[in-house]
Amino acid sequence: MLLRIKYSAEIEQKMRTFLDTLSEKDKRRYYSIEAIKLGHGGQKYISGMLGCHPQTVMAGIDEIVNDTEMPGERIRKPGGGRKKIIETEENIDEVCFEILKHHIAGSPNAPQFGFLSHGSKHLNFI
């Protein structure tokens, strides 16, 4: 890394503290502005010092240089993250009821009413 300028430990700590107040999108922009200011080697230095992935710095630079930020109030692209299990498993209802059927109690006079015989803490271990 041929970086000529490095921040002092005090400034680095203030930068980290400031980052805690920013949204994810604003953090990306801040990383990129700092990396651009530093020039060659800035992306690697900023990502190492502030604890982000170098690709995050690159994404921020792309947003700033090419004006490709997310439209509206979005911070992330739509469709990211883990899918809900109800969307990925076809028979999840049957599986859940099969597990719970031994833990359901009810009244013989009113079979339509049932309740779990254990609390939710116990169900975590089933």
Residue 123, pLDDT score: 55
Phi and psi at 113, nearest 5°, equal -100, 125
Domain boundaries, given as residue ranges, for the chain: 9-65, 85-123
Residue 69, pLDDT score: 63
The DSSP result for 59-115, as a single string, is: HHHHHHHTT-PPSTT-SS-TT-SPPPHHHH-TTHHHHHHHHHGGGEEEETTEEEEEE
pTM value? Answer: 0.54
pLDDT less than 50: residues of the chain: 1, 125-126
* Beta carbons of 2 and 44 less than 8 angstroms apart: no
Residue 54, pLDDT score: 92
